[in-house]
Chains A and B, each alone.
Chain A
Amino acid sequence: MSEDFATSFNYAVHGGLDKVLGQSGTAAVLSHMKMARGLPEPGEFHKKLLALFGKQGTISLERAIVRDLAVRLKWSLDLLDIEGAFDFDETMRAVEKGAKA
């Protein structure tokens, strides 16, 4: 991950999780995942979320993260297909690529 994208991703994870889980829930998730100091690759992050919240819970949380990231990067959500089940890792890569361009 590029440094800029990593920073945005980090903020978006906090922002997105916070909207759904609240501050204490977010802090607990990140602490539990041992990610308080830094986030892993989106793919690994996805797996850890899946273990805690299951498929449906993970989709909801990841959608909140993507929405937050889109706002931060001033992207239109129309450009991202996040309705229904979507591939978080792939979406993040697309966003990172777009951000770089």
Chain B
Amino acid sequence: MKPLVQVNPQMEGAGFGPSDLAETRIGTVFGLKQFMQGPINTVLIKGLAGTGKTTVALEILKAAGQGKGAYISSRVPKELLETHIPAMKETIDNQDFLDIRLEDATSVLDFVMQLTEPRKIKTIVFDSWDGLAKELEQKERLRAEKTLMALANNSGAQFVFVSEEPGATTIDYLVDGIVEVVSVDVQDRTVREFVIHKLRGTKIPQHKYIFTLLEGKFTFFGPYAVPDYSKMRKFAQRQDIGGSYSLGSRALDGLFGGMIPGSTLAIEYDENVPYTALRAIGLPPIINFLSMGRSAIFLPLPGANDEETSSILAKGAGETAVRERLRILNVLRTSDLKTTNLPKIATPREVHEEVTNETTRLRKKSTDKTVLLVKSVSALENLFASDLDSLLEVTSQEIITLQQSHDAHILFLAKDSPIRSRILSISSSYAKLFVRDGTVLMFGVKPHTGIYALQHLEDPTSPSLTQLV
């Protein structure tokens, strides 16, 4: 699926890079054409205070075009709204703004008639509709709402009602579309979701989306899109950060601050995290290490395509570097066991010895004698399911050895790994990856970081991380 994103180069610094933040128009979520020209005349945006309803409504208003929208405010004056959401100041300035805090329903309906009769206005936002409707008796409220529906239908303008009423009200039954914005707590971090409950006459490919209000702008995330590796760019080598090794990606360095020599970074992932998303965490450090003249050892995740991995690494770091200073050891393939002279039924200790020998061999070829080990614990767990204690023992030894030799160590382990908690306790850094509403999310547990959506906006091999706020 093609990512539904529009990159805003002005957002440098907001996420981790100029193109990392994908600014998307709300219309894209609804299906822009259907929303702007189709059967959706009236939309209700529901949600509790602070969930982002006004920003979403302003995005719809922005889509109307300059001078073709009106914002009817029953809560705040224009100046205050612009202070609350500075990123939308231009949108607010470009449209009619009606402050109705002290007006009654009759005046508001009259305003709406004045706006719609000339048929020049495309979108009117009522923020909030409750503010006004709560002053009316139930029957009177319903009739006022019906009047608005009739005005919307006749004028062709889109009416957007913002509501903080959590339950279903009379307007729920009248409008063509209902969207709800909610804030969900995920591991002590807030994730915003945009839920489409109803959209008459419009196909809804997905009901829930993750979105962020970073920089006061609405940005939604479509389902994770597998990167197109044919669009790989030339790898830009990243120097060490102070005394730390770069992780080969501005996004990852921004999140973890690089890797202190001798440290172990553990990456825990849910079973539904796509392999390409994990690869975007594992490959940039390897490519960068090789580009810097250092060496690396890679034990890929189960199911990895060795040829594809080698091809990506060769494109990124160069064929010579891959051939001379990288060892890909796929322990699940018998051929690899044969080539390393391991018996067909190897023990964790035999694999560990092989890794140690390779580390010694590759250390000699590394410009500063450092080696990066990127290892899938899941692959080893699958292989040594009956001897996990030994696996844990050799993994611990490896962490200590690499620590002493100032190497770098990245471990990938599944959420349900039986040795997870013990591995995590001896890891210096720890990040989690999981999927929600089709979007791959990532956050650091050790050190504690905010939560980010992972995409591939710049290069297929690198992650782009956009903070969810």
Contact = CB atoms under 8 A, between A and B. Distances in A.
Contacts of A23: 106, 140
Contact of B106 (A24, A51, A52, A57): A24
Contacts of A24: 104-106, 109, 136, 140, 143-144
Given A20-B143, A22-B143, A23-B140, A28 B154 contact: no
A31 interface: yes
Interface string B89-107: 0000000000000001111
Interface residues of B toward A: which range? Answer: 20 to 34
Interface stretch (B40-48, B145-153, B350-358): B145-153
Interface stretch (B21-29, B110-118, B228-236, B327-335): B110-118
Interface in A50-79: 51-54, 57
Interface in B143-183: 143-144, 146-147, 150-151, 153-154
Contact of B113 (A52, A54, A57): A52
B146 A31 contact: no
Interface in B123-157: 136, 139-144, 146-147, 150-151, 153-154
B129 to A, nearest CB: 14
Contacts of A29: 109, 113, 147
B140 A57 contact: no
Contacts of A51: 117
A24 B141 CA distance: 9
B106 A20 contact: no
A57 B143 contact: no
Q: Is the interface of A mostly helix, strand, loop or mixed?
A: helix
Nearest to B109: A28
A21 interface: yes
B140 A52 contact: no
| Most chain A CB inside 10 Å of its own CB: which residue of B106, B146, B151 | B106
A21 B147 contact: yes
Contacts of A43: none
Interface in A7-29: 20-25, 27-29
Interface residues of A toward B: which range? Answer: 10 to 19
A92 B154 CA distance: 25
Contacts of A52: 113, 116-117, 151, 154
A32 interface: yes
Nearest to B119: A51
Contacts of B105: 24, 28
Given A27-B106, A53-B154, A22 B117 contact: no
A32 B107 CA distance: 9
A31 B108 CA distance: 11
B147 A28 contact: yes
B106 A21 contact: no
A22 B150 contact: no
B110 A31 contact: yes
A21 B143 contact: yes
A57 B146 CA distance: 11
A32 B116 CA distance: 12
A51 B150 CA distance: 12
B174 to A, nearest CB: 14
A57 B144 contact: no
8 contacts: A22-B139, A22-B140, A22-B141, A25-B146, A29-B109, A31-B106, A52-B154, A54-B153
Interface of B: 104-110, 112-114, 116-117, 136, 139-144, 146-147, 150-151, 153-154
Given A28-B110, A52-B151, 20 more contacts: A20-B146, A21-B143, A21-B144, A21-B146, A22-B140, A23-B106, A24-B104, A24-B106, A24-B136, A24-B140, A24-B143, A25-B109, A28-B106, A28-B112, A28-B147, A29-B109, A31-B110, A52-B113, A53-B154, A57-B153
* Nearest 10 A/B pairs, CB to CB: A22-B143, A28-B109, A54-B154, A24-B105, A25-B147, A27-B106, A32-B113, A28-B110, A24-B106, A57-B150
